[in-house]
Amino acid sequence: MNLKEKLQSSYLAFEDHLQADSPLHDVRTKAMKSFEDKGFPSKKEEAWKYTSLNALLSKDYSIFPKNETAIEFNDVKKYFLNDIDTYKVVFIDGVYSSFLSQITHDVIDVCLMSSALNKSKYSSIIETYFNKAANTDSLSCLNTAFAKEGAYIRIPKNKEAKKPIEIINFATGTEAATMLQPRNLIIVEQNAHVQIIERHQSLNNNPVLTNSVTEIFLEKRANVDYYKIQNDTQNASLIDSTFIQQQRESICSVHTFSFGGKLTRNNLSFKQLGERCDSILNGVTMIEDKQHVDHNTLVHHIAENCESHQDYKGIFDDSATGVFNGKVYVEKQAQKLDAFQKNNNILISNKATINAKPQLEIFADDVKCSHGCTIGQLDPDAMFYLRSRGIADKEARALLIYAFANTVLESVKIPELKERINKLIANKMGVNLGFDL
């Protein structure tokens, strides 16, 4: 039985537990049908030209974990941002862990997708928002069909989440291979603010395939600051699809730090529905071995006077492969737009590969759109200069790479997180440098 067939039969079993005549069930059935029709994406599709899922799909994943596994806080403490207080929504093998979490219903909702999906008091919200931003690509559809658990966050009008929210998905690896499909829904109402950190973490080397979908809705003047930390083990793969809809004057920034995992695919899609929106997409990718990271971004400009800024840095060592496939799509009515896209890459090793496809599709004439893409190596002159000042090769290299990624690192607004990321970079490069330059 291949994975697709296994998913089909699992869905039938899953369906037995669902309320048969609910509108949500219709959504799932339709999504499942769509997945069945399309199947998993192949390299023949333009959007997957440079990323193959074949190797991942051959594993025999367990779709629903059989038994709950408890984990000790001390074992996973290091994955939390523990030097500051945060809200935490934590899942272990896709199941909510109340022990590790810290959720709230006080003014703001930081709680569970399962409650939102099943409790009647949320039904109007689910009807309004659930699956309204997500694409109909096969993997998103698959997630929609199986959507069961994840984070549900709602920040009401004029409110602010007083502390950052951490969404952490642990995979224990108790099964030989696990497939997880978390689903998050985030609604930020008028003039509300929130900071969110999302992480997927495996706790051993058994294969994990995560197919995650997050929908984020920003109402007028809402402000979202979202951080994705991707630093997983060598057999963990992640397909992360994040769909964002912005109403007027809202600002949304998403920072993606891809430091590890077998295969990581980030589908990040923004839709600007109102005037004067600002979308910020930042990313640092730093990988080695045979790791593969694919950033697939889309900023869809529909309204006037909006802006978007993309800044992606990639550093690739060993046989690592990087893909940047960024698209800016400007509708005819999206006049006075300022859209900027930048993608800079450094290849450290001769076996590393980078494939870039920065695209512009423009239908409006009064716009400022540009993109720049560079690929190169560390400047040998700069290396020599640093070494002639007595800085060892490894440290010199680390300094230059840090400087290269600095524009993105600078944009991290939570100081503790920034420090954490700096340490991650230092660790990766095997140096002990404080990077607060």
Partner 1 sequence: MSKYTEDDLKKELETKEYEYGFYTDLESETFPIGLNEDIVRAISKKKQEPQWMTNWRLEAFKVWQSMQEPDWANVNYTKPDFQAIAYYSAPKAVDPNKTLDDVDPELVAMYKKLGISVDEQKKMNNVAIDIVVDSVSVATTFKKTLSEKGIIFMSISEAIKEHPELVKKYLGTVVPTKDNFYAALNSAVFSDGSFCYIPKGVRCPMELSTYFRINQAGTGQFERTLLIADQGSYVSYLEGCTAPSRDENQLHAAVVELIALDDAEIKYSTVQNWYPGSAEGKGGVYNFVTKRGLCEKNAKISWTQVETGSAVTWKYPSCILKGDNSIGEFYSIAVTNNYQQADTGTKMIHLGKNTRSTIISKGISAGKSQNSYRGLVKINASAENARNFSQCDSLLMGNECGAHTFPYIEVKNKTAQIEHEATTSKIGEDQIFYCNQRGIDTEKAIALVVNGFSKEVLNKLPMEFAVEAQKLLEISLEGSVG
Q: Find residue 238's DSSP bridge partners.
A: 210, 264
Could you tell me the CA-to-CA distances from 399 to 239, 411, 417, 422, 426 in Å, in that order? 31, 18, 19, 11, 9
Query: In angstroms, what is the minimal distance from the CB of 341 to partner 1?
Result: 9
Name which position in 33, 332, 394, 413 contacts partner 1 (CB under 8 A): 332
Q: Report CA torsion sign: 68, 74, 76, 82.
A: positive
- Nearer to partner 1 by Cβ, of 44 and 78: the residue is 44
Span interacting with partner 1, options 6-14, 111-119, 300-308, 348-356, rule CB under 8 A: 348-356
- Nearer to partner 1 by Cβ, of 191 and 343: the residue is 343
Query: In angstroms, what is the minimal distance from the CB of 227 to partner 1?
Result: 28
Span interacting with partner 1, options 87-95, 286-294, 363-371, 389-397, rule CB under 8 A: 363-371
- Nearer to partner 1 by Cβ, of 187 and 323: the residue is 323
Span interacting with partner 1, options 115-123, 260-268, 361-369, 389-397, rule CB under 8 A: 361-369
Q: How far apart (Å, rounded) are the C-alpha atoms in residues 157 and 194?
A: 12
Instruction: Determine, following the binding rule CB under 8 A, whether residue 356 of this chain makes contact with partner 1.
Output: yes
Single-letter code of the amino acid located at 241: S
Name which position in 18, 360, 383, 400 contacts partner 1 (CB under 8 A): 360
- With tokens 């059935």, the residue in question is 29
What part of residues 144-183 is at the interface with partner 1 (CB under 8 A)?
Answer: none
- Nearer to partner 1 by Cβ, of 2 and 370: the residue is 370
Span interacting with partner 1, options 35-43, 124-132, 134-142, 351-359, rule CB under 8 A: 351-359
- Nearer to partner 1 by Cβ, of 235 and 345: the residue is 345
What part of residues 370-389 is at the interface with partner 1 (CB under 8 A)?
Answer: 370-377
Instruction: Determine, following the binding rule CB under 8 A, whether residue 106 of this chain makes contact with partner 1.
Output: no
Number of residues that bind partner 1 (CB under 8 A): 36
Name which position in 3, 222, 293, 354 contacts partner 1 (CB under 8 A): 354
The mark string for 216-245 relative to partner 1 (x by CB under 8 A, - otherwise) is ------------------------------
Instruction: Determine, following the binding rule CB under 8 A, whether residue 352 of this chain makes contact with partner 1.
Output: yes
Instruction: Determine, following the binding rule CB under 8 A, whether residue 42 of this chain makes contact with partner 1.
Output: no
Q: What is the CA radius of gyration of the chain?
A: 21
Span interacting with partner 1, options 68-76, 271-279, 340-348, 407-415, rule CB under 8 A: 340-348
Instruction: Determine, following the binding rule CB under 8 A, whether residue 67 of this chain makes contact with partner 1.
Output: no
Span interacting with partner 1, options 73-81, 138-146, 365-373, 398-406, rule CB under 8 A: 365-373
- Nearer to partner 1 by Cβ, of 72 and 365: the residue is 365
Query: In angstroms, what is the minimal distance from the CB of 315 to partner 1?
Result: 11
Name which position in 25, 33, 368, 394 contacts partner 1 (CB under 8 A): 368
Instruction: Determine, following the binding rule CB under 8 A, whether residue 353 of this chain makes contact with partner 1.
Output: yes
Is residue 87 within 8 A of residue 163, CB to CB? The reply is yes
Query: In angstroms, what is the minimal distance from the CB of 373 to partner 1?
Result: 4
Instruction: Determine, following the binding rule CB under 8 A, whether residue 359 of this chain makes contact with partner 1.
Output: yes
Shortest CA distance to 197 belongs to which of 233, 161, 243?
A: 161
Instruction: Determine, following the binding rule CB under 8 A, whether residue 52 of this chain makes contact with partner 1.
Output: no
Chain residues in the site for partner 1 (CB under 8 A): 46, 50, 332, 335, 345, 347-377
